[in-house]
Homo-oligomer: A and B are copies of this chain.
């Protein structure tokens, strides 16, 4: 496991250098139609177009490429039924190393298939009867695997921060040097990484996490000044960004750089998916659309002439997507 040093801009730049051209520099998109809804310029960083369909490939690549050659050769382990699983599996495959992904037995078959299609070994566990952590620890010890955490790891945060370096450059090219930057937030890996990158590269930017109603642990933690937990972990359509609480590594960064957090409803997330479909021809998953939802439907929470939204992912079930775009 990576040592728990605090991530910083040097680590983000180093992660960017290790990634090189092997992942995508995703586009920063806009459209007159979105600007009209929001009443200001809206710039969308489309991480849904990243390889594997979310920003998670950045963190996975950063963590794997930072391992010692011996640790890397032995392989990596991740717990995830979603975007992190695919990000780690892809990065492992591209490094030519084994990846073992622990997934709950009741995970959607499509997610299991997608992860296997990327070459990972999927180990299923039973949520009710198996101890996931013990199972993972046993596998890790037996095979010498290194755990890649979904967010609370400095090298993972550094990898996610590379999206922030790109935002700084692309926003400057678009003539935007001051803006609120809204980031879809689960455990805070992406939000904290982007905040560190922009603190160094674009100090006129103010980063804020955006979460779904009822799962606003980051917003409440920022308000109280200490880590607050969500009361429940199921019941949102924004499954990709539901976590129990901000991380031990991510929260100090959020607290220093990202006050306050914003919150949107599931209905607003679905409406943002419809707007991204129509105006940007992008496929966003519900959790990947909350930042755009805040930009479009909470204009009073944003200041300035432009707002930047990080659209974190596009791995969404066809029926859910069809519902979002046809309900209006």
Contact = CB atoms under 8 A, between A and B. Distances in A.
Interface stretch (A31-39, A213-221, A294-302): A31-39
A117 B33 CA distance: 8
Interface in A204-220: none
Interface in A283-328: 283-284, 314-315, 318-319, 321-322, 325-326, 328
A29 B48 CA distance: 12
A226 B322 CA distance: 43
- Copies of this chain, complex-wide, total 2
* Residue with the greatest number of chain B CB neighbours at <10 A, chosen from A48, A90, A274, A321: A321
A325 to B, nearest CB: 4
Contacts of A321: 277, 322, 325
A98 interface: no
Contact of A325 (B280, B282, B315, B318): B318
B281 A48 contact: yes
A27 B170 CA distance: 15
Interface in A1-51: 21, 24, 27, 29, 31-33, 36, 48-49, 51
A310 to B, nearest CB: 15
Contacts of A29: 24, 49
Contacts of A314: 281
A241 interface: no
A187 interface: no
A278 interface: yes
A99 to B, nearest CB: 14
A281 B55 CA distance: 13
A118 interface: yes
A55 to B, nearest CB: 13
A150 interface: no
Interface of A: 21, 24, 27, 29, 31-33, 36, 48-49, 51, 53, 90, 114, 117-118, 173, 274, 277-278, 280-284, 314-315, 318-319, 321-322, 325-326, 328
